[in-house]
Chain A
Amino acid sequence: MKILVCISNVPDTTSKINFTGDNKEFDKNGVQFVINPWDEYALTRAIELKEAKGGSVTVLNVGEADAEPNIRKALAIGADDAIRVNAHPKDAYFVAQQITAIAKEGGYDMILMGKESIDYNGFQVHNMVGEMMGIPSVTPAFKLDMVDDSTARLEREIEGGKEVVEVKLPFVASAQQPMCEPRIPNMRGIMTARTKPLKVVEPAGAEAKSEYVHYSKPEKKSGVKMIDAENAGEVIKLLRNEAKVL
C-alpha cells in the first residue's frame, strides 16, 4: 500500500502571534514551527498501516526550505521518503493543486491529511484534493482500518454524531483524534532520517484564489471580576443582569 501523508508546517501551539509590515504579514520572528498537530495523527496511522500491511509512506509538504526540519522529523517518526514542493503556499486552493499534481503522478492508494491547519484554520484542503482527483474524501475521520486489500472503513465525525463509511482505494481522508497515539521520533529514527530521500520539486502551474490583505488581533478582555466562593451563586445573577447571557 502506497500512502501519501500531507504535512503542514505551523507555529507551535504555544506561540505568541504577531504581525509585521503594517499588519500585512505574519511575523515569524522567534516563532518555533512544528508539524501541524492533526497531521501527526495522519502520519502515525499511515505508519501503523504500513507496518501491518506493508507498503510505503511518503510525506509531502508544500512550502519553502524552512519547513525541512519538520519534514525530517516526519521521516524520523517513520515515513520512508519525502517530497517538498518548493513554493510559498499562497492559499489552500494553491496548496490543493500542488498536492493533486503530486498525488496523480505518484499513484497513491491513500492520501492522508490532518483535519485542519492550526495556523490558517481552513479545514478545506482535503476536500478540495478529493474533488480535484475525483475520489472520495472522508473528513474528519477519527478511525481508519482496512476491511480488505481494496476497501477501508472509516468513522467520521458529524455534528452530534458519527458516520461509518466504507470506501474503495484510492481515497482522501483527514485525521483527528483519537485515531491513534501520535509517535515521537526515537534516536534510531533520527539517525536514519538523515539519509532518507527528500526530493524537492518545483510547483505545478497554479493560481491562488484569495489574497490575504490584513491581520488583526481580538480585543483584550477588560479584566476579570472576582466573586467570593461563599457567594458563588451571585455569578448567576451577574450573568443574567450584567452580562445578559442567561
Chain B
Amino acid sequence: MSVLVFVEGLNGEIKKSSLEAATYGSQVAQAMGTSATAVAIGDVNEAALAKLGEQGISKVLYDSDDRLKQFVADAYVKVIAKAAQQESAKVLVFSNSNIGAAVGSKLAVRLNGSLATNVTELPKMDGGNFIVTRGVFSGKAFADVNLTSDVKIIAVKKNSTDIVSNAGNTATVEKLSADLADADFAAAPKETVMQDTSSGVLLQEAEIVVSGGRGMKGPENWHLIEELAKELGAATACSKPVSDIGWRPHHEHVGQTGITVSPNLYIAAGISGAIQHLAGVNSSKVIVVINKDPEAPFFKAADYGIVGDALEVLPKLIEAAKALDK
C-alpha cells in the first residue's frame, strides 16, 4: 500500500504544481504510515527526479519513452496504471491541471476509484472515512467529500499547498516500462504549439498575476501591465471583454468562462470586478485593485485599493517595483 504522485515536466524541469502535488502526496503518505512514490513522464530531466526527495518522495519511477514527451492521454494512463499496480497504490495524487485532471478522470474509471478534483486541503481520515475539501461553485464555496471507493484519486488545486523542501533528501530513481504499443499513441497530437508568454511566466502556475480590463483603454497601453509584470516576475492576464475585442489573446482571459487562477497576489487594473470575473480570481491570497471609480464592485473583494487612473497609477507601481531590492 502506498501513495503514488504523478509528476509533470516542462522544459526538463518539474512543474511547480507537481512539486505541490509531491508535497501533498508525501504528507498523505505520512498520515497513513506509508511511503510516497512518484511516477514521472514526459519532458523532465532525470537529474531533477532525485531531488523530489526534498518534497518527501522516497522513490521515483521514470518512463523515458521519447514518445511520452508530448501528452497522450491513453499512453499516460497506461504508464500510471502500471505504476499504481506495481506499488499497490491506494491513493493517487495529481495536480489539477488539464493533464492531471484528464488522466485522473480516466484512471478513476480504469481503477474503479473515487475521484476528487480541485482539492484544497489534506484528507481527514477517521472511522473509515476519507474526506477531502474541494472548491465548488466557482470559488464561492467548499465541499467536504467522502471518497468511498478503495482507491482514491485526488487532483490538488494549484497554489493551495506550500511546497516543502528538505535540502539534501534524495529519492531513488527507477526505470519503469509500460510496454507501450503504437496503438497507445493513436490520438497523439499532430502538433504542439507553446505560447510566447510575454513575461515568460505561465499564467496557471504564476504566484503573481497582473491583469488589465477595459479601463486600460486600448492595447497600446498594455506595456504598463507587461512592465509591472516583468518587474514582479508575474504573469499577465485580462478580463473577458478585453480578449473578446482582441486587445489580448484568449488564453489570457481569467474568470468564470476563462482560466481560474489562485496566485498569492492578483493586481487588477481597470477591471470592474463583475461576479463572473471574480469567480476566476477570488481565491487569490491578496488582491490589489486599481480603478478610477470608487464604487467599482472589485473594491469589495480587494485587500488593497487605489482610486485613480490606471494609466497614471501603474507607472508609479512600476517605479516602486524597480526600487525593491530583489
A240 vs B323: C-alpha distance when bound (angstroms): 12
- Binding site secondary structure of chain B: mixed
Query: A210: CB under 8 A from chain B?
Result: yes
Query: A227: CB under 8 A from chain B?
Result: yes
Q: Which of B114, B137, B188, B306 contacts A235 (CB 8 A)?
A: B306
CB closest residue in chain B, given A142: B250
Among A47-55, A56-64, A123-131, A196-204, the one that faces the other chain is: A123-131
Given contacts A158-B192, A217-B141, contact A246 B324 (CB under 8 A): yes
State whether A139 touches B102 (Cβ < 8 A).
yes
State whether B256 touches A37 (Cβ < 8 A).
yes
State whether B256 touches A13 (Cβ < 8 A).
yes
Query: B106: CB under 8 A from chain A?
Result: yes
CB closest residue in chain B, given A162: B193
Query: B148: CB under 8 A from chain A?
Result: yes
Q: Which residues of B contact A211 (CB under 8 A)?
A: 145-146, 148
Query: A206: CB under 8 A from chain B?
Result: no
Q: Which residues of A contact B27 (CB under 8 A)?
A: none
- Binding site secondary structure of chain A: mixed
Q: Which of B144, B205, B256, B276 contacts A212 (CB 8 A)?
A: B144
State whether A239 touches B204 (Cβ < 8 A).
no
Query: B104: CB under 8 A from chain A?
Result: yes
Q: Report B271-315 CB contacts with A as 1/0, cut-off 8 Å.
A: 000011001001101101110000000011111111111001100
CB closest residue in chain A, given B142: A216
Given contacts A210-B148, A211-B146, contact A119 B136 (CB under 8 A): yes
Q: Report B128-154 CB contacts with A as 1/0, cut-off 8 Å.
A: 000100111111111111111100000
State whether A212 touches B202 (Cβ < 8 A).
no
State whether A218 touches B71 (Cβ < 8 A).
no
Query: A184: CB under 8 A from chain B?
Result: no
State whether B190 touches A131 (Cβ < 8 A).
no
A124 vs B100: C-alpha distance when bound (angstroms): 11
Among A65-73, A81-89, A104-112, A164-172, the one that faces the other chain is: A164-172
Q: Which residues of B contact A136 (CB under 8 A)?
A: 73-74, 186-187
Among B83-91, B115-123, B174-182, B216-224, the one that faces the other chain is: B115-123
Least Cβ–Cβ distance between B116 and chain A, in angstroms: 7
State whether A158 touches B99 (Cβ < 8 A).
yes
State whether B136 touches A159 (Cβ < 8 A).
no
Query: B232: CB under 8 A from chain A?
Result: yes
State whether A224 touches B313 (Cβ < 8 A).
no
A56 vs B169: C-alpha distance when bound (angstroms): 59
Least Cβ–Cβ distance between A103 and chain B, in angstroms: 14
Interface centre among B115, B135, B299, B301 (most CB of A within 10 A): B115
Least Cβ–Cβ distance between A158 and chain B, in angstroms: 5
Least Cβ–Cβ distance between A112 and chain B, in angstroms: 16
**Contacts between the two chains (Cβ within 8 Å), count:** 247
Query: B70: CB under 8 A from chain A?
Result: yes
A70 vs B31: C-alpha distance when bound (angstroms): 45
Least Cβ–Cβ distance between B45 and chain A, in angstroms: 18
Query: A28: CB under 8 A from chain B?
Result: no
State whether B317 touches A163 (Cβ < 8 A).
no
Interface centre among A121, A140, A218 (most CB of B within 10 A): A121
Q: Which residues of A contact B162 (CB under 8 A)?
A: none
Q: Which residues of B contact A118 (CB under 8 A)?
A: 137-138, 256, 279
State whether A37 touches B257 (Cβ < 8 A).
yes
State whether B101 touches A124 (Cβ < 8 A).
yes
Query: B172: CB under 8 A from chain A?
Result: no
Q: Which residues of B contact A225 (CB under 8 A)?
A: 303-305
State whether B288 touches A239 (Cβ < 8 A).
yes
Q: Report B191-223 CB contacts with A as 1/0, cut-off 8 Å.
A: 111110100001011011000000000000000
Q: Which residues of B contact A208 (CB under 8 A)?
A: 148
A39 vs B114: C-alpha distance when bound (angstroms): 24
State whether B265 touches A239 (Cβ < 8 A).
yes
Query: B127: CB under 8 A from chain A?
Result: no
Query: A189: CB under 8 A from chain B?
Result: no
Q: Which of A121-159 contact B (CB under 8 A)?
A: 121-128, 130-132, 136-140, 142, 153, 156-159
Query: B47: CB under 8 A from chain A?
Result: no
Interface centre among B101, B204, B257, B300 (most CB of A within 10 A): B257
A238 vs B287: C-alpha distance when bound (angstroms): 12
Q: Please list 11 pairs of residues, one from A and one from B, whose beta carbons are closer than 8 Å in the complex, sorted by A's number.
A: A14-B276, A131-B106, A160-B197, A164-B192, A176-B257, A213-B145, A215-B141, A216-B141, A217-B140, A226-B304, A233-B320
Which residues on A are within 8 Å of B, measured CB to CB?
A: 11, 13-14, 17, 19, 37-38, 92-93, 96, 118-128, 130-132, 136-140, 142, 153, 156-167, 176-178, 208-218, 221, 224-229, 231-240, 243, 245-246
Which residues on B are within 8 Å of A, measured CB to CB?
A: 10, 15, 70-71, 73-74, 77, 96-99, 101-102, 104-106, 108-110, 113-118, 131, 134-149, 186-195, 197, 202, 204-205, 207-208, 232, 250-251, 253, 256-258, 264-265, 275-276, 279, 282-283, 285-286, 288-290, 299-309, 312-313, 316-317, 319-321, 323-324
Across chains A and B, which 8 residue pairs bring their CB atoms closest together, nearest first? A229-B308, A233-B320, A127-B105, A236-B320, A161-B194, A163-B189, A131-B109, A232-B316
